[in-house]
């Protein structure tokens, strides 16, 4: 990254808006962004994460009417991390402003992030002051931050959300690292100490359904806890050693007649439970972090209204359409014996 520091108000913003089945929210989000941020130079980049509900069609219409709107559409649903990673990769202005399509963070609140970034920060994260989400999600987030920050000592901007303003050079650098566990909130502190948080307003979702469920949160938490600290695996190793010591003592107790059959049975079941926990953590660590085999890219682009890197495409432009036409022609001809 270069040392040049350009203020968001001077260099402009690439507003990255990830979308997955948000057909009802795309146009309202666009209207709100251009109305509230009209004073800034804008590049609005929608990332369609394999939607199946007409989201892409709405985005196409917006792009056709407004040259500030660009979009990429994936070949399938790759998930939240992939969607914003593509947006960060193809941002073209000095700052990336991440706003989700559900509009739970008002676009007007972006000015608080912009003002804070002007003080010399590389990244500014919004913190919900009046979170309008179900109680289970609020408890889950609180538990996540407690375990990650207080117990496992992973440096995470406390209370930080996906509503954030980041220098494009920093955001793109993180994406290009291609980590096995691409957890953005935990990666920023590894690269820079110049990050901050600011309180922002939050509102309830008005249209559509949330895509963030318990499974999503659990998976992300596990990847963070395993990929960004050794405390969990160290604890698992220590527990395994302790269990082996207990097993040796139990064996010695049986040999000298101190322990009876009932005590031995209880001890064996406890040791088995402990070893299964250790095994599960070890396997997860090997799968997430230690795997060295080749794997697909984080996302593949099906369609875009601007040039994207060839490595990000599953098909060259036009190849997929040609393949469909050829398939239809062959089906029409039939098969002869």
The yes-or-no verdict on residue 293 having pLDDT over 60 is: no
Reduced to 3 states (helix: H, G, I; strand: E, B; else coil), residue 42 is strand
Write down the domain spans for the chain: 8-211, 231-290
**What residues contact 72, with CB distance under 8 A and at least 6 apart?**
45, 46, 47, 48, 86, 87, 90, 301, 303, 304, 308
Residues 139-166: what's their mean pLDDT? 74
pLDDT confidence of residue 150: 65
CA angle 281, 276, 246 (to 5 degrees): 110
The per-residue pLDDT for 115 is 95
pLDDT mean across residues, the chain: 79
Confidence at residue 145, expressed as pLDDT on a 0 to 100 scale: 62
Average pLDDT over residues 106-113: 96
Task: Give tens-digit pLDDT for 246-262.
Answer: 666 666 666 666 766 66
Is 132's pLDDT higher than 90? no
Confidence of residue 156 (pLDDT cuts 50, 70, 90): confident
166: pLDDT strictly greater than 90: yes
Residue 332, pLDDT > 50, answer no
Share of the chain above pLDDT 70, in %: 62
Q: Stretch 52-77: mean pLDDT, rounded?
A: 96
pLDDT at 335: 35
State residue 207's pLDDT score. 74
| Percent of the residues in the chain that have a pLDDT greater than 90, as a whole number | 45
Q: How far apart are CA 25 and CA 12, in angstroms?
A: 24
Range of 100-114, 137-151, 269-283 with top mean pLDDT? 100-114
pTM of the complete model: 0.72
Residue 174, CA atoms < 13 Å, CB-side half-sphere: 27
* 8-211: CATH superfamily: Spore Coat Polysaccharide Biosynthesis Protein SpsA; Chain A (3.90.550.10)
């Amino acid at each position: 990254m270069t040392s040049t520091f350009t203020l968001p108000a001077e260099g402009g913003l690439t507003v990255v808006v990830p979308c997955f089945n948000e057909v009802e929210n795309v146009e309202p989000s666009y209207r709100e962004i251009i109305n509230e941020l009209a004073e800034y130079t804008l590049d609005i980049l929608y990332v369609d994460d394999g939607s199946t509900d007409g989201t892409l069609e709405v985005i196409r219409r917006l792009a056709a009417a407004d040259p500030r709107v660009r979009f990429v559409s994936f070949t399938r649903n790759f998930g939240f991390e992939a969607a914003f990673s593509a947006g960060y990769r193809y941002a073209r202005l000095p700052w990336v402003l991440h706003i989700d399509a559900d509009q739970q963070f008002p676009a007007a609140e972006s000015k608080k992030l912009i003002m804070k970034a002007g003080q010399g920060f590389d990244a500014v994260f919004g913190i919900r002051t009046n979170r309008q989400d179900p109680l289970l999600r609020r408890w889950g987030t609180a538990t996540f931050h407690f375990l990650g920050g207080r117990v496992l000592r992973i440096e995470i901007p406390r209370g930080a959300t996906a509503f954030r303003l980041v220098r494009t050079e920093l955001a793109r650098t993180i994406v290009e690292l291609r980590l096995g566990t691409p957890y953005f909130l935990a990666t920023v502190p590894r690269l820079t100490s110049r990050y901050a948080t600011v309180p922002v307003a939050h509102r309830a979702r008005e249209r559509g359904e949330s895509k963030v469920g318990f499974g999503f949160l659990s998976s992300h938490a596990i990847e963070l806890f395993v990929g960004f600290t050794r405390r969990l695996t160290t604890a698992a190793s220590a527990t395994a050693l302790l269990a082996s010591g207990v097993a040796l003592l139990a064996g010695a107790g049986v040999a000298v007649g101190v322990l009876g059959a009932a005590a031995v049975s209880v001890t064996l079941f406890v040791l088995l439970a402990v070893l299964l926990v250790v095994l599960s953590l070890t396997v997860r660590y090997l799968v997430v972090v230690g795997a060295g085999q080749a794997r697909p890219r984080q996302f593949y682009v099906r369609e875009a209204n601007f040039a994207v890197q060839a490595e990000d495409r599953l098909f060259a432009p036009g190849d997929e359409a040609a393949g469909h036409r050829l398939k239809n022609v062959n089906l029409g001809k039939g098969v002869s014996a």
